[in-house]
Amino acid sequence: METKKRIGIGKAHSKIILMGEHAVVYGYSALAFPLKSVEVVCRVMEADHILIWDKEDPLSTAIFAALEQLGIDKAYLTYDIASTVPERRGMGSSAAVAIAAIRAIFDYYQADLSEDLLEDLVNQAERVAHQNPSGLDAKTCLSDLPIKYSRQTGFEQLDLNVGAYLVIADTGLHGKTKEAVQKVANLGDLAQPHLEKLGELAEKALVVTCPTAFGKVMSQAHRHLQAIGVSSDLSDHLVATAINHGALGSKMSGGGLGGCIIALAASQEQAKDLAKTLEKEGAKQTWIERL
Ligand code: MEV
């Protein structure tokens, strides 16, 4: 345990929900997509003071979960985080930061870390960040492939190949997942038909055979998310802008009341044009991924 590196390094990527947000809370399926180009890097280094656990802080909890696992109770170390994942946008920032930090600790102490143990430690930090996380963020931030999740069937890796490009646009506004989930709960029976449809659309997205049909499913989902009151004016504006500029489909993504929208483009060229237009129309940042 005493053969430490000078600097321990850990990396992790972020994620975005493609379909099924909110419906997943009620037992339906959700699909999440790893954003491998949007990354967090954590560095761990020696320090002259003992690290103190802030039990309210998910990152600190991740670090201490890793240290405890390694049997280290007094750690003279410090860490820093370099992240391109904006916080509280439904991009799995807290999970990605926890994964990077745990990997960095294990790298620093030159210890082996299995994927199962890593997921378990990350979920300890996610419970501090989100109280009752489904584990979908952690799973997708740990996966190179898209993930399907439902309470009944658990997690499944997907070999999704839509043959199109996904544009992710950040409204720059913090998503308010807790508030949005409560808003839907307050709607009671009024939300039920929309949640059922959102669940059906998540399943349908997996069986459609062309990008146009996938896009249509996304746009239908957006209308149901609007109907349960979890979109925002800027998200609606960006979704409408994407459609008016030729996107095959578009929707908000994640908990909502802010956060990100996603749009489907037929080609990389179109995706680049869409990204530029969305930035002109208020998006703070955009990313493009092959889907
Ligand atoms: C938040 O990213 C997704 C929601 O479905 C909440 C959840 O699944 O815990 C809104």
**Euclidean distance between CA atoms 163 and 209, whole angstroms:** 10
Query: Residue-wise pLDDT tens for the chain (291 aa)?
Result: 568 889 999 999 999 999 999 999 999 999 999 999 999 999 999 999 999 999 999 999 999 999 999 999 999 999 999 999 999 899 999 999 999 999 999 999 999 999 999 999 999 999 888 767 788 999 999 999 999 999 999 999 999 999 999 999 999 999 888 899 999 999 999 999 999 999 999 999 999 989 999 999 999 999 999 999 999 999 999 999 999 999 999 999 999 999 999 999 999 999 999 999 999 999 999 999 999
The pLDDT value recorded for residue 2 is 60
Quote the ligand 1 centre to 271 CA distance (angstroms). Answer: 26
Tell me, using a 6 A CB cutoff, whether residue 202 lines ligand 1: no
Instruction: Give the residue, by CA position, lying nearest to ligand 1 atom 2.
Output: 254
The pLDDT value recorded for residue 240 is 98
Quote the ligand 1 centre to 87 CA distance (angstroms). Answer: 15
Hey, what are 90's tokens?
């439904």
The pLDDT value recorded for residue 252 is 98
Is the Cα dihedral 24, 85, 35, 259 positive or negative? positive
Which of 33, 139, 177 gets mutated to test ligand 1 (max ligand atoms within 8 A of its CB)?
177
Quote the ligand 1 centre to 3 CA distance (angstroms). Answer: 41
**Euclidean distance between CA atoms 175 and 241, whole angstroms:** 20
User: What interhelical angle do 115-130 and 58-69 show, nearest 10?
Assistant: 150
CA angle 126, 19, 193 (to 5 degrees): 105
The pLDDT value recorded for residue 133 is 76
**Euclidean distance between CA atoms 63 and 104, whole angstroms:** 9
CA angle 276, 280, 286 (to 5 degrees): 50
With a CB cutoff of 8 Å and minimum separation 6, the contacts of 219 are: 239, 243, 249, 250, 251
Tell me, using a 6 A CB cutoff, whether residue 199 lines ligand 1: no
